[in-house]
Amino acid sequence: MVHAVQAARYRIPAIAELCGQLRRFTPREKLVKHLGRAEDFLAEISPSRWYSYKQVCFKITRFRPDTGDDIRISGADLRHDLIQMIEDLAEAVPLSTQEVGERIYTVQDLAREFSVATKTVARWRRAGLVSRRFIMDGRHRVGFLESSVRRFREREAARVEKAMQFSQLTTEEKEDIIDRARRLAQAGACRPEVTRRLAAKTGRSLETIRYILRQFDQANPRAAIFPEAQTPISEELKRRIYRDHRAGESLNVIAKRYCITRARVIGVIDELAAQRIRELPLDYIPSPEFEHVTAAKEREILGPPPLAEHTACAGRLPAGLPPYLASLYDVPLLTQAQEIHLFRKMNYVKFKASKLREKLEQGMKTRRRPDRSLMAEIERLYEDSVKTKNEIISANLRLVVSIAKKHVGPAENFFELVSDGNMSLIRAVEKFDYSRGNKFSTYASWAIMKNFARTIPDEHRYRDRFRTAQSELFNITQDERSDQVEQESAQLQRETQVRNILQRLDERERQIIVRRFGLDNSDEPLTLKKVGSELGVTKERVRQLESRALSKLRKLAAEERLDWLEVE
């Protein structure tokens, strides 16, 4: 089916469907021929006549569809839809200026040729002037074939003549407008205000005044009326404009406040919005099921989590907790099915947003401004992922409290441990791979305790290693120091074995494993992004190398029969 947004621009659904089929299935060379035939056919159409759909297909493709029913189309509707079809097909096969054997007009060229405003050219396009997309100076730009302009002028001679007479200004009138504009600018009026005043004073349209002033400034940069319009906007001013826009200020208010045109305000907002999209953290845990998701499957992934078969127990509330920590126990625990659903949803939403961001970047290479609807969809998906992530975190915060209570000692602050544990929980949510079938609470507990093992001082770490509760410290009846020595000896042996198998990795893989898991006692575990910055590679490349290194370590651990070593 043709894209819904594209189809909405057509009056006849069958023409929209035909355009979609031609774009998807027609080779480039044939599509260029279809474009030429469509333009020739457009010149023959009379608004007062009726045409059959089969006739339209034959005129464009030289193929008459073999269908039972045929539909009749009015000339006015057919002309409207053919103009739209030509523009859509031309966008699919943009031609370079070298591939076209005739002159190409830009919008500005056409405005100068007929002494009209660019807004008038836009009205001509709606009235039947056929435009296409051409590659000019490495960019995709709207252009008009000389033959298309000639046909339009012959068919709409009265319309063109009227526009030329209305918009044509004498040299004295133009000089008067420029002189008035200079005096107003010197008096402190900004460009939009000058344009409005001169339009009201002369009776000309805003677009005509803008065009005259813009053309003068471009032709006379040293004597420009508004030289600031030729200079780039500072980064600080861009941030202020974007902040005002995010706060709900209208474009007109912002333009007047900073004395710049509305178009430049829109350009700044688009630029910073695209920059913000680039900086969104959209890292996700990949899954093969994300690559080919049907509409029904997507509704299932994005829908609400399954209901619990049995009401989860509230759990025993630890004594002595302040109210804001005790409130964590009001949030029900997740069942395994709910847990899997939320992790799948969070990662799929980020996967989808990441793909749309790639599409946005590709589009910005061929278009000047980013696609606003695409950026809005990416932001919506990101907010949805954050909401889902917070659901998972809220249901597991009590886990941090229970682990912190077991590790707190005379030298540790309980609330600092909870704060550190919460950060470990957040990182665990981002890195947990639900597809392996493990429970998240097991994975998160390991991550939290590993963080506590690094943050609690060494003497307390060694002391707590050989007991599970305070009561055991007073129930010991024999000297356990020999066991401590034995444990430390075993730990040294394990560290030696780890170093040995790490040496069997190549240098870059070894560096990644050491930095990612904090195996060097002097370093904390680093994120994929930080490791990539150190090694001069992308974050995705670090993830690939890490995955390959972990696979090697699993095989090496199996060969050495290191049962105690679990490589996740």
Predicted pLDDT of residue 521: 57
Task: With a cut of 50, say whether residue 120 has pLDDT above it.
Answer: yes
Task: With a cut of 80, say whether residue 333 has pLDDT above it.
Answer: yes
Q: Cβ of 36: how many Cβ atoms within 10 Å?
A: 13
pLDDT (average), residues 295-300:
89
Decide if 396 is inside a domain: yes
Task: With a cut of 50, say whether residue 99 has pLDDT above it.
Answer: yes
Greater model confidence, 165 or 418 = 418
Residue 73 host element (H or E): strand 72-74
Lowest mean pLDDT among 223-227, 319-323, 365-369: 319-323
Shared-domain flag, residues 509 and 459: no
Decide if 516 is inside a domain: yes
Q: How many CA atoms lie within 13 A of 437 on its CB side?
A: 0
Shared-domain flag, residues 471 and 516: no
Mean pLDDT of the chain: 80
Predicted pLDDT of residue 117: 75
Shared-domain flag, residues 130 and 24: yes
Decide if 318 is inside a domain: yes
Decide if 174 is inside a domain: yes
- Residue that is last in its domain, among 278, 304, 329: 278
* Residue 371: both structure tokens together: 């696609």
Decide if 283 is inside a domain: no
Predicted pLDDT of residue 489: 58
382-405 burial code (b ≥16 CB/10 A, e <16): bebbeebbebbbebbbbbbbebbe
Phi, psi of 140 (to 5 degrees): -85, 120
pLDDT (average), residues 119-128:
82
Q: Could you give the angle at which helices 336-366 and 372-407 cross, rounded to 10 degrees?
A: 140
Predicted pLDDT of residue 379: 92
Q: What does the alpha-carbon distance between residue 381 and residue 512 come to, in Å, rounded to a whole number?
A: 31
Q: What does the alpha-carbon distance between residue 444 and residue 432 come to, in Å, rounded to a whole number?
A: 8
pLDDT tens digit string along 381-419?
A: 999 999 999 999 999 988 888 888 887 766 567 788 888
Name 540's Cβ contacts closer than 8 Å, sequence gap at least 6.
Answer: none
pLDDT (average), residues 241-269:
85
Instruction: Please check whether residue 71 is in contact with residue 52, taking contact to mean a CB–CB distance below 8 angstroms.
Output: yes
Q: What does the alpha-carbon distance between residue 229 and residue 255 come to, in Å, rounded to a whole number?
A: 13
Shared-domain flag, residues 312 and 406: yes
Q: Tokens 């319309």, residue?
A: 159
Predicted pLDDT of residue 407: 75
Shared-domain flag, residues 269 and 322: no
- Residue that is last in its domain, among 221, 255, 278: 278
pLDDT tens digit string along 421-463?
A: 888 899 999 999 988 888 898 888 888 888 777 766 544 545 4
pLDDT (average), residues 496-516:
80
Name 297's Cβ contacts closer than 8 Å, sequence gap at least 6.
Answer: 289
CATH number, domain containing residue 501: 1.10.10.10
Predicted pLDDT of residue 451: 78
Predicted pLDDT of residue 488: 57
Q: How many structural domains comprise the chain?
A: 4
Shared-domain flag, residues 87 and 149: yes
For residue 125, the Cα-to-chain-centroid distance in whole angstroms is: 32
Q: Tokens 């470990």, residue?
A: 424
Residue 349 buriedness (CB in 10 A; 0-12 / 13-18 / 19+): buried
Residue 307 buriedness (CB in 10 A; 0-12 / 13-18 / 19+): exposed
Q: How many CA atoms lie within 13 A of 471 on its CB side?
A: 0
Shared-domain flag, residues 145 and 227: no
Max mean pLDDT among 29-43, 184-198, 387-401 falls in 387-401
Residue 72 host element (H or E): strand 72-74
Q: Tokens 């804001």, residue?
A: 324
Q: 3-state class of 411 per DSSP?
A: coil
Determine if the pTM surpasses 0.85: no
367: left (phi over 0), alpha (psi -120 to 50) or beta: beta
Residue 258 host element (H or E): helix 251-258
User: How far is CA 501 from each of CA 498, 513, 543, 546, rounded to the nearest angstrom?
Assistant: 5, 12, 20, 15
Q: What does the alpha-carbon distance between residue 394 and residue 332 come to, in Å, rounded to a whole number?
A: 9
Name 88's Cβ contacts closer than 8 Å, sequence gap at least 6.
Answer: 6, 19, 23
pLDDT (average), residues 210-223:
84
Shared-domain flag, residues 272 and 321: no
Torsion of CA 421, 425, 427, 431, to 10 degrees: 140
Q: 3-state class of 294 per DSSP?
A: coil
173-186 burial code (b ≥16 CB/10 A, e <16): eeeebbebbbebbe
Task: With a cut of 50, say whether residue 485 has pLDDT above it.
Answer: no
Task: With a cut of 80, say whether residue 3 has pLDDT above it.
Answer: no
- Residue that is last in its domain, among 431, 447, 477: 477
Alpha helical stretches, state H, 146-205: 146-155, 157-167, 171-186, 191-202
Query: Which residues on adjacent β-strands are paired with residue 72?
Result: 52
Q: 3-state class of 522 per DSSP?
A: coil
- Helix, strand, coil shares of the chain as percentages rounded to 5? 70, 5, 25
Q: pLDDT class for 188, splitting at 50, 70, 90?
A: confident
Predicted pLDDT of residue 167: 52
pLDDT tens digit string along 45-81?
A: 888 899 988 888 998 988 887 765 678 899 888 888 8
Phi, psi of 72 (to 5 degrees): -100, 140
Predicted pLDDT of residue 565: 55
Decide if 482 is inside a domain: no
Decide if 525 is inside a domain: yes
Lowest mean pLDDT among 117-126, 152-161, 226-235, 289-298: 226-235
Q: What does the alpha-carbon distance between residue 317 and residue 245 come to, in Å, rounded to a whole number?
A: 47
Instruction: Show the domain range for 508.
Output: 487-568
Predicted pLDDT of residue 472: 44
Name 199's Cβ contacts closer than 8 Å, sequence gap at least 6.
Answer: 205, 206, 208, 209
Shared-domain flag, residues 22 and 157: yes
Instruction: Please check whether residue 106 is in contact with residue 125, taking contact to mean a CB–CB distance below 8 angstroms.
Output: no
Shared-domain flag, residues 22 and 139: yes
Predicted pLDDT of residue 543: 86
Shared-domain flag, residues 359 and 472: yes
Shared-domain flag, residues 153 and 185: no
